[in-house]
Structure 1
């Protein structure tokens, strides 16, 4: 097992089949840089300057279609002291009548204080003079090349992952992705210094990052992304409307409980019906994201 330090010279705004930038082995660790859209210039972008530029793709030796790529998020370190967001609230989260009263879109800058572990608006906003939420780095967009030769925009998400904007994709989490092409072709980017559920202003606090992840190839098949933390397991559905995303996530969790925990459909329903928690990931972009989460303390012993 080796550790690779990779500095990208080009970025992608779609996740699909492309020439790998680096080949790594099962069990290897990768340290690389990601950049937010404000840091792009014309020489750096492979396709065009749009949101969510991705670093990659990384070819994982031994990953074959039908396998699962497990990606442990080891560390997410902001590489500059500022980030940015937009206001106001997105059209997708407001009553139609309220849309008429939305103020004009405005971009604002946040200071990232790594020592204090907080983020703070640079601009003085009435009522928010003491507002300093915690610095909570997460990955907004990452995943593997989809099946069928597709190249999916980094503005959306699907079975391969993508722009899910789920807050639990943070240090200490292991994300699972279904492998559809040889080598998986893994991309990552869209680092957020902080973000509430749903990405309801259209961004998290967007900034550039140094990210460290570790890869494992699992010889098993999954249908939708999954994840593990020390406290929980979760499954992710990406679709629109929101109820379809919830259906994908719920079905994938029922499968997981059967495969790994020996619960048939009836037993899984008893457990899920009482202890499932649903989290909202992205409700701004073309596909919405819902996570179906269960605390480990409720799971049968394996």
Structure 2
């Protein structure tokens, strides 16, 4: 098992079938630089310039269509001392009447204080002079090439992953993606130093990162992305409207409970009906994200 250090010289604004930048073995670790959209030279982007420039794709030896790629998020280290967000709240999360009173869009700079472990507005607005939430790094957009030769914009998400903006895609989490092309062709980027649920201002605190991930090829088939932390398992649905994303996530969890925990549909419904938790990922971009989450303390693996 090898650790590869990769420094990109070009980026992608779509996740699809492209010439891999690096081939790695099952079990290898990659340490890669990622950037946010600020200051990106359009000549460095291989598709029409849009947010979420991706590093990759990485070809994982042995990954074949029908397999699952497990990606353990080992480390997310901001590589700049600042990040940025937009305000006000997005149109998608406001009542229509409130939109009429919505102030103009502004961009704000945040200071990322790694010594203090906090983020704060560089120029605080009234009432937030002492506001300094903790740094909580996460990956906003990552995934594998979709099936059928598609190239999906990094502004959206689907069964292959993409722009999900789910806060539990953080260090210590293992994300699982369905493999649709040889080598999986894995991309990652869109690092956030901090973000609330939903990415409801259209951004997290966007900044550049050094990201470390470890790959494992699993010979099983899943339909939607899955994830595992020390405490929970979760499944991801990406769609619009929001209820369709919830349906995808719930159905994928029911499958998982049957495959790994020996629960038939009735048993799974009893368990999920009482202890399931739903988290909201992205509700700003074209596809919304819902996570269906269950604490491992309720589960006995078969």
Superposition TM-score, scaled by structure 1 size = 0.99
CA distance in 1, matches of 2:209, 2:162: 17
Displacement of 1:290 = 0.1
Is 1:65–2:56 an aligned residue pair?
no
1:232-278 deviation per Cα after TM superposition (whole angstroms, max 9, x unaligned):
00000000000000000000000000000000000000000000000
SS in 1 for 2:197: coil
Equivalence for 1:85: 85
Equivalence for 1:118: 118
* Aligned positions, number: 302
Equivalence for 1:293: 293
Is 1:76–2:76 an aligned residue pair?
yes
Q: Any conservation in 1 of the 2:260–2:301 contact (CA below 8 Å)? A: no
Displacement of 1:300 = 1.9
SS in 2 for 1:191: strand
CA distance in 1, matches of 2:265, 2:207: 43
Displacement of 1:39 = 3.1
CA distance in 1, matches of 2:102, 2:112: 28
Structure 1 unmatched ranges of 5 or more: none
Displacement of 1:124 = 2.4
1:89-117 deviation per Cα after TM superposition (whole angstroms, max 9, x unaligned):
00000000000000000000000001111
CA distance in 1, matches of 2:130, 2:197: 21
Equivalence for 1:198: 198
CA distance in 1, matches of 2:48, 2:213: 26
Equivalence for 1:97: 97
1:133-173 deviation per Cα after TM superposition (whole angstroms, max 9, x unaligned):
01000000000000011000000000000000000000000
Is 1:165–2:168 an aligned residue pair?
no
Equivalence for 2:174: 174
Q: CA RMSD in A?
A: 0.6
CA distance in 2, matches of 1:124, 1:29: 39
Structure 2 unmatched ranges of 5 or more: none
